Structure 1
């Protein structure tokens, strides 16, 4: 006789229950302990224990009421530069469309932001301040750009300058628009980074800019990283891919002023 779903759930071994929770995390990004407890017909204490174990294995980050899957962006910059190149180029073209002539643009390091550097309009009399040598290289010898490269120690993982020198220089800037790099983004948990110094520099960029824009690929949405940068409500423009589910998109629209789904 075929087992009912309820019987199947009741018969789960602890490791099977944990595997199911991990599957939910990877599918939805965020899970809530109360909902999982009801679905799995077990206690919230048991679910929280599973989430704690999964967090200890590096699969997720505990947040209030549940957990978030860890962002997949914790890779060397040299690897990220060659991933999803076409997708990042589409996001970059959409992001560059909000730039206006004569603006001072603060451009954070990151593979998508390097694509934005390449997409910025020429002959617009733009001043671009960046901590990314790669982004700087995309702008040199193009007409209409005054490029300022932020100095300091070049962090291999971030492919951009970090540390006290970079932080001091950023604090002396007053930018019209910042294209901020984001390792992870969640409506409730905000923008996050994997490196403490990187997060500190990003916070300084937010403080130095009148408007904040973020363009990021779908796999970074509803994910976590260890170091907080800014609340999602601080983001004025969010550019995401068109394959983001409607419910997930709505959760960002509730806290961001302008959320734009970029179609292929």
Structure 2
């Protein structure tokens, strides 16, 4: 088997199983464990996976600050936001998670669309300052500065009193095995709580977040109403997600 074929197989195993064990792969392919470990080292250097003792895991995405993230994948975020807005009906209560992708929803919200927007992000609320038809409910609490969102008991208590029609969830990573995840324990907890208080939850995912895993799981892929992804993602990459959640919307 060629090196390129082994590497493709390793990536398929990583997507399917959420981990790769070097010894097991070597046995399955009838090659030496050193050969597989060399493949894993090269793939780690190429930014395809994360080396761990005995094998590999999906990459953990980098977590640049909020200001830096604004200009990353801007065109894709705008398309995802437009697709998300298409799900909103007049008169609904919509919860917008913090993040640069959901901020695009606030920016693109049609001026004549009468909705109630709930958010625990002061930056999202500020985007709607001059929107003539949107009522805004801002949830307070302890500010998690990396994502500019309120977290903690005070925020959770306020959210518990609401029942949003739609929740647009933002995460840092998505993986068929490891689910939808983010890098902070408290932030993951409040995202999970909001989803539990909403009728429907959709996740907006840029291509760089797929097949990766952050430290703290928010929800399994199958537990949300649907995923909104760019329309240029290869169908083979989406197949494991589609098997878990049939509502994958392209933008």
Q: TM (normalized to structure 2)?
A: 0.82
- Alignment equivalent of 1:71, drawn from 44, 50, 61: 61
Q: 1:166, CA displacement in angstroms?
A: 1.3
Equivalent in 147, 159, 162 of residue 136 of structure 2: 147
Match of 1:14 in 2: none
Which among 111, 116, 120 is matched to residue 131 of structure 1? 120
Cα root mean square deviation, aligned = 2.9
Q: Could you state the TM-score of these two structures normalised by the residue count of structure 1?
A: 0.78
Paired position in structure 1 for 2:80: 91
Q: Which residue of 1 aligns with 2:92?
A: 103
User: How far 1:188 moved relative to its partner?
Assistant: 2.0
Bigger Rg over Cα: 1
Q: CA deviation at 1:238?
A: 0.9
Partner Cα distance (1:235, 1:144) in 2? 28
Query: Residue 199 of structure 1: CA displacement?
Result: 0.4
Identify the residue that residue 170 of structure 2 maps to in structure 1. Answer: 181
Structure 2: state its 5+ residue gaps: none
**In 2, Cα distance between the equivalents of 1:217 and 1:37?**
36
* Number of corresponding residues: 232
Structure 2 Cα separation of the partners of residues 123 and 221 of structure 1: 34
Gaps of 5+ in 1: 10-19
Distance, in Å, in 1 between the alignment partners of 2:250 and 2:100 is 19
Is 1:205 aligned to residue 182 of structure 2?
no
SS for the counterpart of 1:224 is coil
Q: Which residue of 2 aligns with 1:41?
A: 31
Q: The residue matched to 2:232 in structure 1 has which SS? A: coil
1:43 Cα deviation (Å)? 4.5
1:170, distance to aligned residue in structure 2 (A)? 1.4
Distance 1:252 1:37 in 2: 28
Contact 1:60 1:224 in 2 (8 A): no
1:71/1:61 CA distance change after superposition, 3 Å: farther
Deviation, 1:207, is: 0.5
Distance in 2 (alpha carbons) for counterparts of 1:193 and 1:61: 20
Question: Could you report, residue by residue, the CA deviation over 1:101-148 in whole angstroms, capped at 9, with x for unpaired residues?
Answer: 111101110110101111223333211100111211111221211101
Structure 1 position 66, deviation (Å): 5.8
CA gap of 1:40–1:242, structure 2 versus 1, over 3 A, is farther
Cα displacement string for residues 176-204 of structure 1 (whole angstroms, at most 9, x for unaligned residues): 11001111111222111100110011010
Name 2:248's counterpart in structure 1.
Answer: 259
Following TM superposition, by how much is the alpha carbon of 1:40 offset from its aligned partner in structure 2, in angstroms?
Answer: 7.8
For the residue of structure 2 that corresponds to 1:161, the secondary structure is strand
Q: Is the 8 A contact 1:122 1:144 kept in 2?
A: yes
For residue 236 of structure 1, the aligned residue among 225, 235, 241 is 225
Verify the 8 A CA contact 1:104 1:176 in the aligned structure 2: yes
Q: Give the conservation status (yes or no) of the 8 Å contact 2:81–2:101.
A: yes
Choose which of 185, 207, 216 in structure 2 pairs with 1:218.
207
